[in-house]
Chain A
Amino acid sequence: GENVEQHPSTLSVQEGDSAVIKCTYSDSASNYFPWYKQELGKGPQLIIDIRSNVGEKKDQRIAVTLNKTAKHFSLHITETQPEDSAVYFCAASIGSNAGNMLTFGGGTRLMVKP
């Protein structure tokens, strides 16, 4: 089955700096890659996703890049703010007709210091 590795497990940055979280996946058939943000006491919430037919996607201060050849994808957060502090999860899915079964990475705890 699919295996998703996520690094780093913790990341501390100064407010205004950029943060980068990287994930690798094992199944070359995976074609859907979402990123979730989990704040304290809440469930994960989708913040951005990318499908295998594109290499990069941006939404304001966040962007995701995908390298299908190397089987890795990354989350980039620019101009970090204290409210970006949370746990971030990457995931991968084959997205077959059987539905969207996600395999999650181990999570990254991001701390943005004011």
Chain B
Amino acid sequence: EADIYQTPRYLVIGTGKKITLECSQTMGHDKMYWYQQDPGMELHLIHYSYGVNSTEKGDLSSESTVSRIRTEHFPLTLESARPSHTSQYLCASSEWREEQFFGPGTRLTVL
């Protein structure tokens, strides 16, 4: 089983709160990703990173931001959560040109 962790697994918060979703991997992978998964199942890439100090926006525009200060850690932050941010957020990591390993996901609900 892949060693990639996400916390919290479930989060219910009120509108306007600042939140950070944590993602850590112990495999030493350079590449990391954040996906948003809507109720219809589809996976949308919102952020990715090639390595430390590298962050890029994905295909789906998102109001969230990410940082990559350490290889193993790739947190996602929402400065002011809104109900439209309610979704499942999946973190993944990979070596170059290899499979992506996914974490278990964080289910976020914004009231």
Show the binding face of A for B, using Cβ within 8 Å: 1, 32, 34, 36, 41-46, 49, 87, 89, 95, 97-102, 104, 106-107, 109
A18 → B minimal CB distance (Å):
22
List B contacts of A43 (CB < 8 A).
4, 90, 92, 102-105
B60 → A minimal CB distance (Å):
12
Give A101 to B99 CA distance when docked, in angstroms. Answer: 10
Interface segment among B12-20, B41-49, B62-70, B79-87: the answer is: B41-49
A104 → B minimal CB distance (Å):
4
Task: Tell me how many residues of B have a C-beta within 8 Å of chain A.
Answer: 25
Give B56-100 as 1s and 0s: 1 = Cβ < 8 Å from A's Cβ atoms. 000100000000000000000000000000000010101011111
List B contacts of A1 (CB < 8 A).
59
- A104, B97: Cβ atoms closer than 8 Å: no
Give A36 to B40 CA distance when docked, in angstroms. Answer: 16
Residue of A nearest to B95 (CB): A100
- A95, B97: Cβ atoms closer than 8 Å: yes
Give A106 to B31 CA distance when docked, in angstroms. Answer: 23
B94 → A minimal CB distance (Å):
5
- A106, B42: Cβ atoms closer than 8 Å: yes
Q: Which of A32, A45, A95, A99 has the most CB of B within 10 A?
A: A99
B87 → A minimal CB distance (Å):
14
- B43, A104: Cβ atoms closer than 8 Å: yes
Q: List 16 A-B contacts (CB under 8 A).
A: A1-B59, A41-B105, A43-B92, A43-B103, A43-B105, A44-B90, A44-B102, A97-B96, A100-B96, A100-B97, A100-B98, A100-B99, A101-B45, A106-B42, A107-B41, A107-B43
- B41, A101: Cβ atoms closer than 8 Å: no
- A100, B41: Cβ atoms closer than 8 Å: no
4 nearest A-B residue pairs (beta carbon): A43-B102, A107-B41, A104-B43, A46-B99
